[in-house]
Homo-oligomer: A and B are copies of this chain.
């Protein structure tokens, strides 16, 4: 159950068709996931969201593609975003993640959950050694 109704035949709108074509070309695949069909209820929102996803996830990068998906999934887990967890876990698999790596990812995410709660409880002062502000660039 969604809070919006995706438009029928979204690609009859030329602005939407252009964005969907760019999604297909950028990803080298005909598959367009539900997110984009639903966002098509407002073309500006669709356009801005795709522009941002494309500029971060599909550009030449200083991190490898699987790592980027794991970072994305890690944030999504902590934010309880069910759709994002499924889409970025699937994307990490598509970019080479095997079961051993996924199990290790899960062990890191759950350890972080553990120590985040521990430190949010006891409020340990941050060590000055961790400070990078005002260091020479």
A contact residues vs B (CB 8 Å cutoff)? 1-7, 31, 33-35, 38-39, 41-42, 44-45, 48-49, 52-53, 55-57, 61-63, 67-68, 70-90, 93, 98-127, 129-137
Contacts and interface: CB of A to CB of B under 8 A. Distances in A.
Contacts of A2: 122-125, 132-133
Contact of A53 (B35, B90, B111, B136): B111
Nearest to A8: B137
Contacts of A112: 71-72, 75-76, 79, 84, 88, 117
A69 to B, nearest CB: 9
A49 B49 CA distance: 13
B117 A78 contact: yes
In the complex this chain forms, how many copies of it are found? 6
Contacts of A31: 129
Nearest to A67: B67
The 6 closest A-B pairs by CB, nearest first: A113-B117, A78-B78, A42-B103, A75-B112, A114-B114, A74-B74
A109 B71 contact: yes
A96 to B, nearest CB: 11
A49 B55 CA distance: 12
B135 A5 contact: yes
Contacts of A110: 49, 114-115, 117-118, 121
